[in-house]
Chain A
Amino acid sequence: MGIEITGVSKRFGDFVALDDVSLSIPSGQLTALLGPSGGGKSTLLRIVAGLESSDEGQVVIEGRDTTGVPAQKRNVGFVFQHYAAFKHMTVAKNVAFGLEIRKRPKAEVKAKVDELLELVHLTQFAHRLPSQLSGGQRQRMALARALAIEPSVLLLDEPFGALDAKVRKELRDWLRRLHDEVHVTTVFVTHDQEEALEVADSLVVINDGRIEQVGTPDDLYDKPASDFVLSFLGPVTTLGDRLIRPHDIEISRYEQAAVVDGPITRWTRVGFEVRLEVTPTDPRHPDPVQVVLTRSDATALGLHPGDHVWLRPQPGADAVVHA
């Protein structure tokens, strides 16, 4: 059940947006489609919603084949990056829209709208117009509007992309809690790896119209299937001939069995973190290596800018051998 995507392809002229994509999204989970801009993740979401048609392939939503079913009849909730609010309607009217289309009795519509506005904390804004709301509030309204029709799946296209960092963070936590309450199968598209890792139950990394890897946040972070996944999910640096996360490097002021050694040529302190750059003396690996450690670790090790240090991967660190 959930969403079954089989062999979906989509071209826009010469550009291949999706190339034979197959994917199974389990029911009741919060799944993130993660990837760089133009990688095809939004196109896939829009095909599931019926807002775009695929050239080939099949999408089955909760056991129902949606091939040829228009967006109006898919019962899919969709949330857009730029809210897509009905500007001339009040918040309550926006949320009621889908129910009024379905010709539900007035009392039922009102009860449902009240319940949803309560859920998204907009009760006191029910009679405002969308233009009188902040971005975060508008997006919560859009979410309530999408949830009003009791969709079989909820799709969010870069839902927090237009918001500033702080509101983004709040809404992210809030979406996670909301999903724990509502349990509707939810898929959201994002290019922000932190957002995906923090919110989603499972991640689908999409690049160049193809799926790179599917898995839980832990799987993807610790056992990336490719250089692309490794570098997309977080910072990476080159240690010798390997790609590794900068915080997975063991650093020492004393000579030890090491991959590379050299002086600390750059020292940046950001909050509790210290970011170092070590320029290896070995001419075979001339590129500086990035190392991240906490400030207390740096103090405990007695490190100072310019010190000669020895670097090696921490035991148990996952790394992908450079091809």
Chain B
Amino acid sequence: MTTLAPTDPGTARQRRSRASSSLTRGSAIGLGLTLTWFSLLVLIPLALVVVSAAEGGWQTFADTLRNPQTAAALRLTVTQSLIVTLVNVVMGTLIAWVLVRDSFPGKALLEVVIDIPFALPTIVAGLVLLSLYGPQSPIGVDVANTEASVFLALLFVTLPFVVRTVQPVLIELDRDVEEAAASLGASRFTTFRRVLLPALTPAITAGAALSFARGISEYGSLVLLSGNLPLQTEVASVRILTYIENGNEAAAAAVATILLVVALLAITVLQLVSRAVARRG
């Protein structure tokens, strides 16, 4: 039972040594199960991707990256995902705020609608977007075969991430903290910037990381509307599929590895941002 006791924040090293020296049978089984599960589902497949990318040697890597079509696809994917994530950070926080702090008719309905991009099969989302913003658009907006279609599709599927991560944190925030700031003379904007934002930042960055990761991996929702034009609207995941269809698995793995590195980088940067904001307050 000793492993259950140390909930106070000791140093990481202390905790690790304590855990390894005094694992009870229950927690040992738990840890073993977790690691096995995690390995089967995540670690081994990821390692395999990296290994198969490395099989071709650095040459395949360099060649794949130097291929103008692949480079363009990667650039488009990362840029659009970044822009979409930025928009989500602002709009997602705003939507979460409205859902938590305001009450209006139809709020319960909106709560459900937010989750639709989660629940909808992505190809269905693609179909919806195609019929609304495609060549036969009933509202006269045709973004098919343009970069805007990629942006739109990503925006649609990543909408819930920031909303759903920020919402619970916002609910937990004490109103009296804001009242305290007000009584000390802080304007609403100052209160938001100096009191609320630091509290929300971990949630916002977590949502942003999810949103970005989903963005760079998206396939189904944009494949119909974007037209997959090489050098123009083709995204990385489509590129990977093409490589595999052509039997060039090493190149596919190379692109996959690059996406993996980009995702890790993004998560790390967001973590750092989160910590910096928390400290600054």
Q: Is B182's CB within 8 Å of the partner chain A?
A: yes
- The interface bits of chain B over 212-249 (1 if a CB of A lies within 8 angstroms of the residue's CB, else 0) are 00000000000000000000000000000000000000
- Interface 9-residue window, one of B28-36, B47-55, B123-131, B185-193: B185-193
Contact partner, A93, options B177, B179, B187, B281, Cβ 8 Å: B281
Q: Is A98's CB within 8 Å of the partner chain B?
A: yes
- The interface bits of chain A over 62-95 (1 if a CB of B lies within 8 angstroms of the residue's CB, else 0) are 0000000011111111101010111111000100
**Contact between B185 and A102, CB atoms less than 8 A apart:** yes
**Contact between B179 and A98, CB atoms less than 8 A apart:** no
Question: Given A84-B174, A86-B177, A86-B195, A76–B281 Cβ distance below 8 Å?
Answer: no
Which B residues are CB-close (under 8 A) to A71? 179, 182-183
Contact partner, B199, options A73, A80, A88, A149, Cβ 8 Å: A88
- What is the chain A residue whose CB lies nearest that of B277? A88
Complex Cα gap A88–B196 (Å):
10
Q: How many A-B residue pairs have CB under 8 A?
A: 66
A-B contact pairs, 26 of them (CB 8 A): A49-B183, A50-B183, A51-B182, A71-B183, A72-B182, A72-B185, A72-B187, A73-B185, A75-B185, A77-B183, A82-B174, A84-B174, A84-B176, A84-B177, A84-B180, A85-B177, A86-B195, A86-B281, A88-B198, A88-B278, A88-B281, A97-B181, A97-B186, A98-B184, A145-B180, A148-B184
Report B280 CB to chain A, min CB distance, Å.
9
Q: Is A165's CB within 8 Å of the partner chain B?
A: no
- What is the chain A residue whose CB lies nearest that of B197? A88
Contact partner, A101, options B177, B179, B184, Cβ 8 Å: B184
Question: Given A88-B198, A88-B278, A101-B190, A80–B180 Cβ distance below 8 Å?
Answer: yes
- The interface bits of chain A over 215-258 (1 if a CB of B lies within 8 angstroms of the residue's CB, else 0) are 00000000000000000000000000000000000000000000
Which A residues are CB-close (under 8 A) to B183? 49-51, 71-72, 74, 76-78, 146
Complex Cα gap A39–B89 (Å):
43
**Contact between A51 and B179, CB atoms less than 8 A apart:** yes
Question: Given A78-B180, A80-B180, A84-B174, A98–B278 Cβ distance below 8 Å?
Answer: no
**Contacting residues of chain A (141-179) with chain B, CB-CB under 8 angstroms:** 142, 145-146, 148-149
Interface size classification for chain B: 10 to 19
**Contacting residues of chain B (153-188) with chain A, CB-CB under 8 angstroms:** 174, 176-177, 179-187
Which B residues are CB-close (under 8 A) to A87? 177, 199
**Contact between B184 and A97, CB atoms less than 8 A apart:** yes
Question: Given A86-B281, A87-B199, A88-B199, A101–B186 Cβ distance below 8 Å?
Answer: yes
Report A159 CB to chain B, min CB distance, Å.
12
Add 16 more A-B contacts to A70-B182, A149-B184 (CB < 8 A): A51-B179, A51-B182, A72-B182, A72-B185, A78-B180, A78-B183, A80-B179, A82-B174, A86-B195, A88-B199, A97-B181, A97-B184, A142-B180, A145-B180, A146-B184, A149-B185
Chain A positions within 8 Å of B, measured between CB atoms, are 49-51, 70-78, 80, 82, 84-89, 93, 97-98, 101-102, 142, 145-146, 148-149
- What is the chain A residue whose CB lies nearest that of B279? A88
Complex Cα gap A85–B177 (Å):
7
Contact partner, A89, options B174, B182, B281, Cβ 8 Å: B281
Complex Cα gap A159–B256 (Å):
58
Contact partner, B176, options A76, A80, A89, Cβ 8 Å: A80
Complex Cα gap A97–B181 (Å):
8
Report B226 CB to chain A, min CB distance, Å.
42
Which B residues are CB-close (under 8 A) to A82? 174, 176
Which A residues are CB-close (under 8 A) to B179? 51, 71, 78, 80, 84
Complex Cα gap A111–B278 (Å):
25
Report A147 CB to chain B, min CB distance, Å.
11
Complex Cα gap A74–B199 (Å):
26
**Contact between A98 and B281, CB atoms less than 8 A apart:** no
Report A112 CB to chain B, min CB distance, Å.
13
Complex Cα gap A263–B190 (Å):
69
Complex Cα gap A50–B176 (Å):
13
Complex Cα gap A148–B195 (Å):
18
Report B189 CB to chain A, min CB distance, Å.
11
Complex Cα gap A97–B281 (Å):
10
Complex Cα gap A23–B179 (Å):
24
Which A residues are CB-close (under 8 A) to B182? 51, 70-72
**Contact between B281 and A145, CB atoms less than 8 A apart:** no
